[in-house]
Structure 1
Amino acid sequence: MLTELELKLLESDAHRTSRMSACNFVIRKEKIEELAQIAFNISHKSHVMAFWTLEFVCEKKLKMFVPFIDSLCEVLPKLTDDSAIRPATKICYFLAKSNHRKNGITLSHEQEHNIIEALIDRLIQEEKVAAKVYAMKALFVFGKKYDWINNELKEILVQDFPNHSAAYKSASKHILKKLNK
């Protein structure tokens, strides 16, 4: 027997309105724990849709996600589906930005380390451009706290620049310009 959330995820699709409807359902019904469990269970048939919805929940109500950051850190290196990697990487970007703000979420040193490591891996592995762009943006934010990240990020972007698409080049140029200031 499927839960109400599982049914909602199964009837969802990739369209923004559909994902936003699922997001609003999760927030209204306080189903973020179940959503996170589905997203982080790679073998669940709605794992990808759960990540798509979780991205929207984190964009709207990131503080709701705090109890699940450790679980995200555990699953990040295990993700293999491009459709789950992109929203997971974007969630890392939201966390990095919030962690950098005065009244934002405070990540533990271990959480920062795990996220940074996963983002660097995503940046150097064969991934779709969107995941790489969110990884470089998040790493840039973390680099404001940890200088060594800027050096590593700069080296990766310069080395990989000639081998990627126009979208990757555009994003990396933007980050490199900021790193060179």
Structure 2
Amino acid sequence: MLSELQKKLDYVNAYRENRLKTAKDVLENPSLFSELVSICFSPQDKNNHKACWILEFVSYEELHWLQPHLDFFCSNLKVLKDESSMRPIAKVTQLLVKSHYKKNENGIQLSEENLQDCIEASFDWLINDTKVATKAYSIRTLYILGNYYDWIHPELKVIIDKDFGDHSPAYKAVAKEVLKKIK
């Protein structure tokens, strides 16, 4: 028997309006959120990538909903192998890290272990054969983290310098932006 969320995900396609409609359904029914997060990290689920798309949109509005799920979210970043799942989750990871370091009472509170999982996943996405958007989010996430972990910026710079010539203009634009900030 399919859950209400699974039925909704069956009808999701890549059209932005379609994804936004399902995200709105989740925002209006927070009880669906835990299942959504679970599906995101179930690569065997046929709707896995669709759940990741929806989580990205929900996170723009209600990032704090992830707070009780952070241990699960961060420790499972490495299970994602499908590009359609990695890109939105890389973006959510960037949002989480950015929120954590905002230094306000409404920010996300990541544990040291959560941060280490984010660092590991971001480096993996950056050095492995993933698409440009995932790499770009990873570069930006690692840049933020490098402001707090002094070893990250030098490593990030080495990877960007080494890979620079092999990538698209989009990658190069993000790389230049971050390299300028690092120096």
Structure 1 and Structure 2 fold alike (TM over 0.5)? yes
TM-score, normalised with respect to structure 1 = 0.96
Q: Distance in 1 between the 2:65 and 2:10 partners?
A: 23
Query: 1:18 corresponds to which letter in structure 2?
Result: N
Query: 1:16 corresponds to which letter in structure 2?
Result: R
Q: Distance in 2 between the 1:42 and 1:162 partners?
A: 32
Residue of structure 1 in register with 2:6 after alignment: 6
Q: Distance in 1 between the 2:70 and 2:83 partners?
A: 20
Residue of structure 2 in register with 1:149 after alignment: 152
Q: Distance in 2 between the 1:100 and 1:8 partners?
A: 34
SS at match of 1:172: helix
Q: Percent identity?
A: 41
The match for 1:131 among 131, 134, 140 is 134
User: Post-superposition, which runs of at least 4 consecutive aligned residues in structure 1 deviate over 3 A?
Assistant: none
Q: Distance in 1 between the 2:12 and 2:40 partners?
A: 14
Quote how far apart the aligned CAs of 1:74 are: 2.5
Quote how far apart the aligned CAs of 1:147 are: 1.5
Structure-to-structure mapping, 1:45-124, within 5 angstroms: 45-103=46-104, 104-124=107-127
Quote how far apart the aligned CAs of 1:3 are: 1.4
TM-score, normalised with respect to structure 2 = 0.95
Query: 2:139 corresponds to which letter in structure 1?
Result: M
Residue of structure 1 in register with 2:15 after alignment: 15
Matched length: 180
Query: 1:21 corresponds to which letter in structure 2?
Result: K
Q: Which runs of 5+ in 2 are unaligned?
A: none
Show CA shifts across 1:140-179 (max 9, x none): 1111111211111111111110111111111101110111
Q: Distance in 1 between the 2:75 and 2:65 partners?
A: 18
